[in-house]
């Protein structure tokens, strides 16, 4: 089969390799669609993975080809999405069902072979079956969608903040736009967004965000814009991992407001004394969020996403700007690295390479 293997920082190779055999409790998945995550860019060019060589890619879907020992054969030929985090099942968070906070997890695409390949072996316990009216490319977007849902739930306690509350989203990459989408799908309309690219503005407008609720953070102070336009916001989602945007969030909060940290940090995060004082004096709640919940229960983040996809409550395909063959991974990574006009890039192993 063909697969992309990362041999070290900057050393990514598209090569022929043996098709994996599913181990005990695993299935062999034929990959149908795989999304490139923003975290894949530094993984390839800056930091490397946790071990090498490694097939990267953690946002993917496909069809079960064969099953390993102990797996029910009824999985064969099913269309599935894949939760990439593999919990240990033994630590305190796991014993409490909080698998996303596992202390000793494995992870598809960063710690063990992932989905930028024609085939991949994955634990059967990490599969979620997708209905016929959900496409493979939609299913490949379930991972970032579930991350967005997890963040919204951390902020809103199951989407129950007052509808009149002011909510701001700082950063309009894929996760930020999905946060906006889930908020709007849940009925919230008093939403303010901060982006820094023209195509982000266009996406926000197409989702129903009024022009006056959009700020170009590359040209003006997002915190001052929010304070002047809203008098302060109740909830702020920081979706960039940048100090400046976090400062804007703290600077624009109403007393007793809530800040949700979503974006992976680009560097050390620091707070100026006057910004720190605002957390204290306004008694702000600052909460972190990472990954998503997948427990197999109907109430977890992945099943919430599946329900919204099946009922067509949200349409993530509108965020897909590029559809490439599996061999186009390097092209997709360069588009993202150079910050060209893009939102979500999906690879299709069955598409012929250019």
Per-residue tokens: 121: 């072996």
| Per-residue model confidence (pLDDT) at position 159 | 54
Q: Which pLDDT tens digit goes with each residue over 58-96? A: 999 999 999 999 999 999 999 999 999 999 999 999 999
328: enclosing H helix or E strand:
none
Greater confidence (159 vs 265) lies with: 265
- Give the start-to-end residue ranges of the domains of the chain: 2-133+312-348, 148-288
Burial class (CB in 10 A: 0-12, 13-18, 19+), 24: exposed
Band (156; pLDDT cuts 50, 70, 90) = confident
| Per-residue model confidence (pLDDT) at position 290 | 92
Q: What is the mean pLDDT of residues 98-115?
A: 97
Q: Which superfamily does 148-288 belong to? A: NAD(P)-binding Rossmann-like Domain (3.40.50.720)
Q: Above 70 in pLDDT, residue 158?
A: no
Band (352; pLDDT cuts 50, 70, 90) = confident
* Whole-number Cα distances in Å, 84 to 57, 128, 234: 9, 11, 32
> What is the number of helices (H) and of strands (E) in the chain?
11, 18
Q: Above 70 in pLDDT, residue 142?
A: yes
The highest-level CATH class for domain 2-133+312-348 is alpha beta
Question: What pTM was computed for the model?
Answer: 0.95
Q: Which pLDDT tens digit goes with each residue over 211-258? A: 999 999 999 999 999 999 999 999 999 999 999 999 999 999 999 999
Q: Which pLDDT tens digit goes with each residue over 285-341? A: 999 999 999 999 999 999 999 999 999 889 899 999 999 999 999 999 999 999 888
Question: What percent of the residues of the chain are helix, what percent strand, and what percent coil, each to the nearest 5?
Answer: 35, 25, 40
| Per-residue model confidence (pLDDT) at position 189 | 85
Band (188; pLDDT cuts 50, 70, 90) = confident
Q: Angle, to 10 degrees, between the axis of helix 301-310 and the axis of helix 142-156?
A: 110
């Amino acid at each position: 089969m063909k697969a992309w293997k990362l041999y070290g920082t900057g050393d990514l190779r598209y090569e022929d390799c043996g098709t994996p055999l599913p181990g005990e409790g695993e299935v062999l998945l034929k990959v149908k669609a795989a999304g490139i995550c923003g975290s894949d860019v530094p993984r390839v060019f800056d930091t490397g993975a946790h071990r090498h060589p490694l097939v990267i890619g953690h946002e993917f879907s496909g069809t079960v080809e064969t099953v390993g020992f102990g797996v029910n054969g009824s999985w064969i030929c099913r269309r599935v999405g894949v939760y990439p985090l593999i919990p240990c099942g033994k630590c305190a968070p796991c014993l409490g069902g909080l698998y996303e906070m596992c202390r000793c997890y494995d992870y598809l695409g960063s710690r063990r072979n992932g989905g930028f390949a024609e085939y991949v072996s994955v634990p059967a316990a990490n599969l979620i079956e997708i209905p016929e009216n959900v496409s493979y490319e939609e299913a490949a977007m379930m991972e970032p969608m579930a991350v967005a849902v997890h963040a919204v739930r951390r902020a809103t306690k199951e989407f129950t903040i007052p509808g009149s509350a002011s909510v701001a989203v700082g950063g309009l990459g894929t996760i930020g736009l999905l946060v906006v989408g889930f908020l709007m799908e849940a009925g919230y309309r008093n939403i303010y967004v901060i982006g820094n690219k023209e195509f982000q503005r266009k996406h926000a407008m197409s989702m129903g965000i009024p022009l006056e609720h959009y700020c170009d953070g590359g040209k003006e102070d997002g915190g001052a814009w929010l304070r002047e336009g809203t008098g302060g916001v109740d909830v702020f989602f920081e979706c960039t991992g940048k100090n400046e945007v976090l400062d804007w969030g703290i600077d624009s909060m109403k007393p007793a407001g809530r800040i949700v940290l979503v974006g992976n940090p680009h560097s050390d995060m620091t707070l100026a004394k006057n910004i720190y004082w605002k957390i204290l004096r306004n008694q702000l709640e600052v909460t972190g969020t990472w990954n998503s919940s997948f427990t197999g229960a109907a109430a977890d983040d992945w099943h919430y996403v599946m329900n919204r996809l099946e009922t067509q409550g949200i349409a993530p395909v509108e965020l897909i700007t590029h559809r490439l063959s599996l061999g186009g991974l390097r092209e997709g990574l360069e588009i993202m690295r150079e910050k060209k006009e893009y939102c979500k890039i999906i690879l299709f192993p069955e598409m012929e390479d250019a």
